[in-house]
Chains A and B, each alone.
Chain A
């Protein structure tokens, strides 16, 4: 089995178990304030890092290219309260058009 399949199946089962744990574990176990704070902030930190890496990372270095223009378009669309699909397609179209033009 390829490493990609292992990651897909392993993380898939793991994510299910995380859901089941929430419905099964007595609430007080994870109700400690420190755990709550970390758990609330973790998605924020990970998503922000994913945005940054996705848009600016090249092969072991930072690269500014059409992806950044796409992200700029996404910010504008989010400020305009556009729905998810419009944001994603708008960013892709911006980057694609820029590459076509340059």
Chain B
């Protein structure tokens, strides 16, 4: 794994442990090694799903370069799947882009939670922002110190970035040479990918009802609107429910 550009001096490894209770230098080292190992493991798992993104993207009509630029530049899986998914069902690039951006708003929330913990400023913050995704947030948010949070964030974020992009390229190259995407069931793979992303969020009944209502609204809008628009209309369900429900004490569960 490489050091992020411009981040060499600020690696958590170069810092003093910020008051870890009861932890000697030995225990600290064991802890750091475990965090890096977990980050690499998550990177490997996520890389595997980059393969499916690459293949699905190419079968949705994007070329290999567009597919790779999405993974390099957008670098947030659900938004990437959303953009190519909308294009796959014949939606306009604009509605695909808007759907991707709306899904990308959850990274803003992750950033709000992590900002005081990671405590980066200026250029380092601008570089770190690119790695702000579900996985890096999950691996940073529960750490007791800034040094450990940064280590979890960077090891996971960089491992996922490297393997996600490599896997995207391989998947795109393979997907393009496989032939008819329908015969391979790749159109069914996209729906399954969205479901797998949605699944861990369906923790309580109100959330499940929102999901059902949104699916129903989207299907109802299919005959009435251009492809891609039904998904955006269904986003209105979240808006409506979020504004109308005032009685829930703590809607913010654990991240990722």
A and B: bona fide binding partners: yes
Which residues of B have CB within 8 Å of A14? 97, 100-101, 104
Please state if A27 and B112 are interface contacts (CB–CB under 8 Å).
Answer: yes
B7-15, B19-27, B144-152, B237-245 - interface stretch: B237-245
On chain A, the number of residues with a Cβ less than 8 Å from chain B's Cβ atoms is 78
As a 0/1 sequence over residues 43 to 70 of chain A, the CB contacts with chain B under 8 angstroms (1 = contact) are 1111111111111110111100011011
For chain B, which range describes its interface: under 10, 10 to 19, 20 to 34, or 35 or more residues?
35 or more
Binding site secondary structure of chain A: helix
CA distance A90 to B185 in the complex (A): 10
Q: How many A-B Cβ pairs are below 8 Å?
A: 335
Instruction: Check if B78 is an interface residue, CB within 8 A of chain A.
Output: yes
Q: How far does the alpha carbon of A46 sit from the alpha carbon of B96 in the complex, in Å?
A: 12
A49 touches B189 (CB 8 A): no
User: B176 CB to closest chain A CB, in angstroms?
Assistant: 15
Main secondary structure on chain B at its contact with chain A? helix
* Pair A92/B186 contact, Cβ less than 8 Å: yes
| Partner among B101, B132, B230 whose Cβ is within 8 Å of the Cβ of A11 | B101
A4 CA to B79 CA in the complex, in Å? Answer: 15
A residues adjacent to B (C-beta < 8 A): 3-16, 18-25, 27, 30-31, 33-34, 36-57, 59-62, 66-67, 69-71, 73-75, 78, 83-85, 87-97, 99-100
What are 21 residue pairs bridging A and B, where the CB atoms are less than 8 Å apart in the complex? Answer: A12-B69, A15-B74, A18-B104, A19-B132, A22-B109, A22-B110, A25-B108, A48-B198, A48-B212, A49-B218, A50-B85, A53-B85, A54-B187, A55-B191, A70-B192, A73-B192, A74-B196, A83-B45, A89-B189, A95-B185, A99-B182
